[in-house]
Amino acid sequence: MARIFVTGSSSGLGFLAGQELLRQGHEVVLHARDTGKAATTRAAAPAAQIVTGDVATIAGARAVAEAAAALGPFDAVIHNVAIGYTERSRAQTEDGLPAVFATNTLAPYILTALLPQPQRLVYMSSGMHRGARANLDDLDWTRRGWSGSSAYAESKLHDAMLAFAVARLWPDVLSNAVDPGWVPTRMGGRGAPDNLDEGYLTQAWLALGDDADARVTGRYFYHRQPRPANPEASDVALQERLLARCAELSGIALP
């Protein structure tokens, strides 16, 4: 039996991945943004433990990391938490950062840095990352006109960069990125055409799968199949710049 932490798991793909791992008999810690969502999640998944907190702020991400670490250590961590691609304006956190970047890029970085190293890490990316650039000189979107879809795609590129950087820097940890596809969740919408089951089963498979195809690192997966990622995701210089910028903004260095 393994112990897994899934961020952003009060609903959608994260919740479904958590449910699948519970069904397999593992210990699962889910994450909800606030007490209301935590209560709903607890009712829907009574066998899971729940960590509550908003990772959009640096202090909130720190608090979630501390609460989760108290329930660990974990065999795997799935970084599923995200804001979608429909944000019409540059919503700003109390740290002065765009909420999309803070939640989708900086929070996974902070949690990766602060949680004890698990055996496996899974980062949720998106097929939209292929059309993005890292734009490390304007992570806070102050030089460019705001685009919610572009900000989301950019953050999902960052997640792939983070997955590949961790795979390179932590050779004892299996770290991979996942494109769940355009699936019918609240974020994806009811008309999304992709296979919802494959979207969450791939997360669970990479977190704990015993077959050789799952025991790899530094890869990008779609429906349990390896796929090419945006070349910028594998650019070591860009990875190092992203890690340095996240460390500067958060005050937290990656071990």
Indicate if the alpha-carbon torsion angle 147, 190, 178, 207 is positive or negative: positive
Cβ(126)–Cβ(156) below 8 Å:
yes
Look up 152 and say whether it is catalytic: yes
Residue 124's CB is within 10 A of a number of other CB atoms, namely 27
Which run of H or of E encompasses 77?
Answer: strand 76-79
Helix, strand, coil fractions of the chain, as percent rounded to 5: 45, 15, 40
Q: Of 123, 152, 200, 222, which residue is the catalytic one?
A: 152
Q: Of 85, 109, 156, 222, which residue is the catalytic one?
A: 156
Cβ(56)–Cβ(100) below 8 Å:
no
Look up 37 and say whether it is catalytic: no
Active site residues: 152, 156
